[in-house]
């Protein structure tokens, strides 16, 4: 059984001297940062560890006070991830993973393990909208036969900070500014960028947060990541490091920013409604659980530190092994009782899974449990049905607020000679065993030099994007920084961008109307390197080009061609896409064959932003009125502007003309079976990115 330090450092781990830009220190006569007891704090950047790469110590009373106060700031709403959507389902492995872990739920391909998944935004409150530019939480509770396992991650594989000591700070910075109570669910404001520009370790995450990943098309189409390095441990005690991934089987997709803004106004519950309705119609969301397995010898060869949560391992270096599939097939019976009261804790693990010394993960192991004590009314939150294990559980913990169990007997301790044979006792044979690690090192508040490269992976991510995605990142940065009224903050961010990519730096500077040479000079702690690009990081680059799980909107007028409508509906059904009908009035239309037809939306309540592709079936007579209807013109204009494929009957051509649509490869005339087949094939290919440069500029 190995007892080596985990994982080996890449180059020698030296003490990292923090660049002056990352924090400010008090000088004589200025206020000192202190604990709540008045004790001056010498280091507010790093938690106390056993050696520079060792585990965080429970002794760190400064970290515990800071995190504890932060955890209890909001009652009862979650401080982060407050707005969530959840669903029940199951997980089923493809084959036994006994060669890498003894975790029971990963052994039998015939065994289904019940799960509950919750997806969320991070920054906004419970009443905010679904589509701000934000990270998405992706948490799954596995109700295994060995107890509950919570995989608590995000739709982005890295994070803003390297040490849990800074978590309250990054969240305070991105939340509403405390004096004015806004902006809600938005990072486009001064306090966030003030913090970010003073925290170079955030630069990789910023590239992700400004990318299309932050405005997903659907919760059913987001990827998920465990973020941290975990351990898988076999029954024989062999330990390996792992990175965990969720991949949607229908592929990942995003909306464009203008679309996100309009969706938020038309339907603030867009993601929540989409998830609910997909499950209700039997279009069950699916994800494959994958793992990158890293041997200790491989960890030492990586060009970054595996304990650094601001870094990822490109799939081109270590491929993802698929372990099994999660299917969500049942909506909650009660949103509050389940989605709101579900409690996820990274410390909820099962035999075969363990932790690394990642300092952000180490802080989360303390923080999440502490948070539940406030949110859910005390130490018995595990008795709430959505949190209760599905396997038997028993111990000697008693009483406490909201105790629901009536425990019998006189003994609530062990060892005991008077307790009955059925009393719970420890189980050395089958119980959880912590993987042994030899930890040495002085107690220290420093960061390893192996954590010091803040720009190389940020550069790799940006350069791995397709041109449209790069333009979106630049446009997002320009939009966000334009909301920052403090010019030196903008200048400092431009200085960071210069370290990431010269073209990105110039583009954002131009969009802001600021001279590129006027940006602040940021000297990196470690000079950025040109890493090999990772095509697997691009959403557009790996678009599966399918209609399954997508939604088509068909705009109908009175007298619309019944046969054409039927043919389109059949074609979309064959592709496993949902179809919704829109008419000028919610009362519906009468088709060409005299059939009265109910619709899903009135034109005013069913904008084209709701759909992945659209079609228009009209008559000449109805078109005379429709071309003068602003809602109809905007419906088409938005669909074209959001780069969607548009199918149209010949009678609908005047509406396209009124909307200023120039016929291109993404506007298909539905003239018989050939035109219908061309429309479906083109819609499967997704958005028409070649259209975008002619429609909008960066900034």
Catalytic residue numbers?
81, 154
The three-state (H, E, C) secondary structure of 511-523, written as one string: HHCCCHHHCCCCC
Asked if residue 578 lies in contact with residue 552, where contact means CB atoms within 8 angstroms, the answer is yes
Write the DSSP assignment of 147-161 as a string of letters: EEEEEEEESSSS-S-
- In angstroms, the CA 600 to CA 606 distance is 8
- In angstroms, the CA 348 to CA 335 distance is 23
Please compute Rg for the chain using Cα positions: 27
Burial 5-40 (b: 16+ CB within 10 A, else e): bbbbbbeebeebebeebeeeeeeeeeeeeeeeeeee
- In angstroms, the CA 546 to CA 253 distance is 11
The three-state (H, E, C) secondary structure of 321-336, written as one string: EEEEEEEEEECCCCHH
Q: Which position has the token pair 């059925």?
A: 422
224 conformational bin, left if phi > 0, alpha if psi -120 to 50, beta if neither: beta
Asked if residue 74 lies in contact with residue 123, where contact means CB atoms within 8 angstroms, the answer is no
- In angstroms, the CA 175 to CA 181 distance is 9
Write the DSSP assignment of 220-279 as a string of letters: GG--EE--S-EEEE-TT--EEEEEEEEEETT---B--HHHHHHHHHH-TTHHHHHHHHHH
With 0-12 / 13-18 / 19 or more C-beta atoms within 10 angstroms meaning exposed / middle / buried, residue 676 is buried
- In angstroms, the CA 286 to CA 298 distance is 31
Q: Which residues contact 293 (CB under 8 A, 6 or more apart)?
A: 100, 232, 240, 241, 242, 318, 321
Q: Which residues pair with 40 in a beta bridge?
A: 34
List the structure tokens of 282: 């039997």
- How many alpha carbons lie under 13 Å from residue 385 in its C-beta half-sphere? 9
Q: Which candidate, 541, 567, 556, 553, places its Cα nearest to that of 678?
A: 567
Asked if residue 230 lies in contact with residue 364, where contact means CB atoms within 8 angstroms, the answer is no
Asked if residue 469 lies in contact with residue 543, where contact means CB atoms within 8 angstroms, the answer is no
Burial 590-617 (b: 16+ CB within 10 A, else e): ebbeeeeeebbbebbebbbbbbbbbbbb
- In angstroms, the CA 288 to CA 537 distance is 17
Tell me how far the alpha carbon of residue 479 is from its chain's centroid. Answer: 21
Strands 601-602 and 578-583: parallel
- In angstroms, the CA 155 to CA 140 distance is 13
Residue 544 phi/psi, 5-degree rounding, is -70, -10
Does residue 510 sit in helix, strand or coil? helix
With 0-12 / 13-18 / 19 or more C-beta atoms within 10 angstroms meaning exposed / middle / buried, residue 268 is middle
């Amino acid at each position: 059984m190995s007892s080596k330090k985990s994982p080996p450092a890449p180059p020698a781990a030296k003490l990292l001297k923090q660049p002056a830009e990352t924090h400010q220190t008090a000088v004589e006569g200025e206020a000192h940062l202190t604990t709540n007891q008045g004790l001056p704090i010498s280091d507010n950047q790093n938690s106390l560890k056993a050696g520079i790469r060792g585990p965080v110590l429970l002794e760190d009373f400064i970290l515990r006070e800071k995190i504890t106060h932060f955890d209890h700031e909001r009652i009862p709403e979650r401080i982060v991830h407050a707005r969530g959507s959840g669903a029940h389902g199951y997980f089923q492995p493809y084959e036994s993973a006994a060669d890498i872990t003894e975790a029971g739920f990963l052994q039998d391909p015939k065994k289904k393990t019940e799960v509950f998944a919750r997806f969320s935004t991070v920054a906004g409150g419970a009443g905010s909208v679904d589509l701000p530019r934000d990270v998405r939480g992706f948490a799954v509770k596995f109700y295994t036969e060995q107890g509950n396992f919570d995989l608590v991650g995000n739709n982005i594989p890295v994070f803003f900070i390297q040490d849990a000591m800074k978590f309250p700070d990054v969240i305070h910075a991105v939340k509403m500014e405390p004096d004015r109570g806004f902006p809600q669910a938005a990072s486009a404001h001064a306090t966030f960028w003030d913090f970010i520009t003073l925290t170079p370790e955030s630069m990789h995450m910023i590239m992700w947060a400004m990318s299309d990943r932050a405005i997903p098309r659907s919760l059913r189409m987001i990827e998920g990541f465990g973020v941290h390095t975990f351990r898988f441990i076999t029954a024989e005690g062999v330990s390996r490091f792992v990175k965990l991934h969720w991949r949607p089987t229908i592929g990942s997709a995003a909306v464009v920013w203008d679309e996100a803004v309009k969706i938020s106004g038309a339907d603030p519950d867009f993601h929540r409604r989409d998830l609910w309705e997909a499950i209700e119609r039997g279009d069950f969301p699916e994800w494959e659980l994958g793992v990158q397995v890293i041997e200790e010898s491989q960890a030492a060869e990586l060009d970054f530190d595996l304990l650094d949560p601001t870094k990822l391992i490109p799939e081109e270096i270590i491929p993802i092994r698929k372990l099994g599939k999660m299917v969500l097939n049942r909506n909650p019976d009660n949103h509050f009782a389940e989605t709101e009261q579900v409690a996820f804790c990274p410390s909820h693990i099962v035999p075969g899974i363990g932790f690394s010394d990642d300092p952000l993960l180490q802080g989360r192991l303390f923080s999440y449990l502490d948070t539940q004590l406030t949110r859910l009314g005390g130490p018995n939150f595990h008795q709430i049905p959505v949190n209760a294990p599905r396997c038997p559980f028993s111990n000697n913990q008693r009483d406490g607020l909201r105790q629901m169990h009536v425990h019998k007997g006189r003994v609530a301790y062990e060892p005991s000679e008077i307790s009955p044979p059925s009393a719970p006792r420890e189980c050395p044979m089958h119980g959880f065993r912590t993987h042994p690690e030899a930890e040495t090192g002085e107690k220290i508040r420093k960061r390893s030099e192996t954590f010091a490269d803040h720009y190389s992976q940020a550069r790799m991510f940006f350069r791995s994007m397709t041109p449209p995605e790069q333009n979106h990142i630049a446009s997002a940065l320009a939009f966000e920084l334009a909301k920052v009224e403090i010019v030196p903050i903008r200048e400092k961010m431009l200085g960071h961008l210069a370290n990431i990519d010269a073209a990105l730096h110039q583009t954002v500077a131009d969009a802001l109307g600021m001279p590129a040479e006027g940006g602040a000079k940021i000297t990196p702690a470690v000079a950025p390197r040109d890493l090999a690009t990772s095509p697997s990081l691009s959403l557009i680059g790996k678009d599966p080009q399918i209609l399954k799980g997508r939604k088509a909107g068909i705009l109908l007028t009175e007298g619309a061609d019944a046969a054409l409508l039927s043919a389109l509906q059949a074609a979309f059904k064959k592709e496993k896409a949902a179809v919704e009908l829109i008419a000028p009035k919610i009362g519906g239309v009468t088709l060409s064959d005299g059939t009265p037809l109910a619709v899903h939306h009135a034109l005013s309540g069913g904008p084209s932003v709701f759909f992945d592709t659209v079609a228009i079936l009209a008559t000449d007579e109805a078109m005379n009125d429709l071309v003068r209807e602003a809602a109809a013109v905007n419906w088409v204009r938005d669909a074209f502007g959001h780069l969607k494929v548009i199918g149209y009957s010949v009678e609908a051509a005047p509406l396209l003309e009124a909307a200023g649509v120039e016929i291109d490869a993404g506007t298909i005339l539905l003239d018989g079976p050939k035109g219908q087949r061309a429309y479906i094939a083109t819609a499967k290919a997704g958005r028409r990115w070649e259209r975008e440069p002619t429609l909008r500029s960066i900034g």
